Structure 1
Amino acid sequence: MSAATTRVGIIDYGMGNLYSVAKAVEYLGGKAIISDQASELATTDRIIFPGVGAFGDCMAALEARELSDFVCVAAQTRPFLGICLGMQMLMDGSMEHGEHAGLGLLPGRVIPFPEEALQAADGRRLKIPHMGWNELHQLVEHPLFAGVPQNAYFYFVHSFYVEPAAPEILAAFSDYAFPFCAAMAADNLFALQCHPEKSGTTGLRLLGNFLGWDGEAGANCAL
């Protein structure tokens, strides 16, 4: 299936960077379908789960729109990409502003950057949220990384990060005072803490790879 014919469902739960993601998809030749209706999203070829905001609020918004079950099914049945908070919500739970249950699609939890660790090598105090360009260090060969240079810069903005409970799902890491999980891969599911839609030509390359990905072909093959 070519990017020109693929229909990409973008989950709308009232929060997130929907239109920047949709604009990137359309630029790459795909057909972006932004919707909060599971029945409409189910007609698409692949799914992007974007996210900006607080974990608990986003989970509540998913439940209010009756989208939680759809996300769980879609993440197991078609090429699926989680972005930023959309990645975090796939986990078992989060400690953001209290304890919140996640969708439980990937094992692990979302935790804050520890205050005692926020010290740069040159003595500077690192700010939270972590915002700006940072290197993505690939740990696996994956179709979405095809043509994406090792240690390429991507755009991040987040105050919490994922601590995966299964090392084999870790696909890439970045550094902010210490190494943290920046991407995960499991079967037809791929998720990023960074924002490929805001990461220039490199981010577009990754999104273009997603538009042509069949959900298989080499996920979790260690470099």
Structure 2
Amino acid sequence: MISILDYGAGNLKSVVNAFRFIGAEVEITHDAGRLMRAQAAVLPGVGSFGDAAASLRQSGLWQPALDFIAGGRPFLGICLGMQLLFEESEESPGVKGLSVFPGKICRIPDGDGLKIPHIGWNSLTLDQTDGLFRQVPDQSYVYFVHSYYLHSPERKIVSSHTQYGVTIDASVQAGNVFATQFHPEKSGQAGLQMLKNFARMAETGREGKGSC
């Protein structure tokens, strides 16, 4: 069973529908006990960094999410769920993230006629080809909706990147933790393959090969 964390700040329906489309067994939960019994977990997110962090704390799932990650089972952060895995964001000064990884989320700079937020399809350059990206072609197009981005100080965890005025670290993976700035559930066949890869790791209990 894959648990989708319901903490009041996630676009749950599309994530659940995508996993069910590929035949994965999935549930939405706000119960820490059910989360800790799951084979894998997904942290989605929409809205602002500060509001999402507050909602995750108020839901009682903040520490269980960290405990789940520490337990070694596959964990996937999507969009704002990826940003929350880092220490802080320019969007919400003074608000701490889960700090699973070091680094700060920054605002995409204005200029060159780019529209902010960045909404639409961009191609991925793969830095890793295992984990989520098994059987996913390099330069696959995926769907983004965001105004803030990651440029990780820890380069070994970055699994793909894209360009939108600046270089955006589009995904990370290290050990049992995976995260994407883009929405795999809205990214066509490439995104579905990523979710299949994650569901397969949930079934087998295997981690990716990214460095931790």
Give the alignment's TM-score, normalised by structure 1.
0.89
Task: Name the count of aligned residue pairs.
Answer: 208
For residues 99-129 of structure 1, what are the alpha-carbon distances to aligned partners after superposition, in whole Å with 9 as ceiling and x for unaligned?
A: 32111101101110123xx31xxxxx00000
Q: Does the CA contact (< 8 Å) of 1:49 and 1:86 recur in 2?
A: yes
**Partners of 1:188 and 1:111 in 2: how far apart?**
25
User: Which residue of the other structure, out of 33, 37, 41, is the alignment partner of 1:47?
Assistant: 41
Q: Does the CA contact (< 8 Å) of 1:141 and 1:219 recur in 2?
A: no
**Partners of 2:194 and 2:3 in 1: how far apart?**
17
Q: How much does 1:76 deviate? A: 2.6
Runs of 4+ in 1 over 3 A off after TM superposition: none
Stretch deviating more after TM superposition (191-200 or 75-84): 75-84
AA at the equivalent of 2:197:
N
**Partners of 1:219 and 1:28 in 2: how far apart?**
24
Q: How much does 1:97 deviate? A: 3.9
* Structure 2 match to 1:34: 28
Task: Indicate the SS of the match to 2:8.
Answer: coil
* Structure 1 match to 2:107: 112
**Partners of 1:158 and 1:54 in 2: how far apart?**
10
* Structure 2 match to 1:149: 137
AA at the equivalent of 1:219:
G
Bigger Rg, structure 1 or 2: 1
AA at the equivalent of 2:15:
V
Give aligned-pair identity as a percent.
40
* Structure 2 match to 1:162: 150
Give the alignment's TM-score, normalised by structure 2.
0.94
* Structure 2 match to 1:185: 173
User: Which residue of the other structure, out of 91, 96, 99, is the alignment partner of 2:86?
Assistant: 91
For residues 114-172 of structure 1, what are the alpha-carbon distances to aligned partners after superposition, in whole Å with 9 as ceiling and x for unaligned?
A: 23xx31xxxxx000000000011100121311111101000000000113121111111
AA at the equivalent of 1:104:
S
* Structure 1 match to 2:193: 205
**Partners of 1:97 and 1:89 in 2: how far apart?**
11
Q: Does the CA contact (< 8 Å) of 1:187 and 1:215 recur in 2?
A: no
**Partners of 1:111 and 1:65 in 2: how far apart?**
26
User: Which residue of the other structure, out of 134, 151, 154, is the alignment partner of 2:122?
Assistant: 134
Q: Does the CA contact (< 8 Å) of 2:152 and 2:169 recur in 1?
A: yes
For residues 194-219 of structure 1, what are the alpha-carbon distances to aligned partners after superposition, in whole Å with 9 as ceiling and x for unaligned?
A: 00000111110110010001342532
Q: Does the CA contact (< 8 Å) of 2:174 and 2:209 recur in 1?
A: no
**Partners of 1:204 and 1:41 in 2: how far apart?**
23
Q: Does the CA contact (< 8 Å) of 2:78 and 2:179 recur in 1?
A: yes
- Structure 2 unaligned residues grouped into runs of 5+: none
CA RMSD of aligned residues (A): 1.4
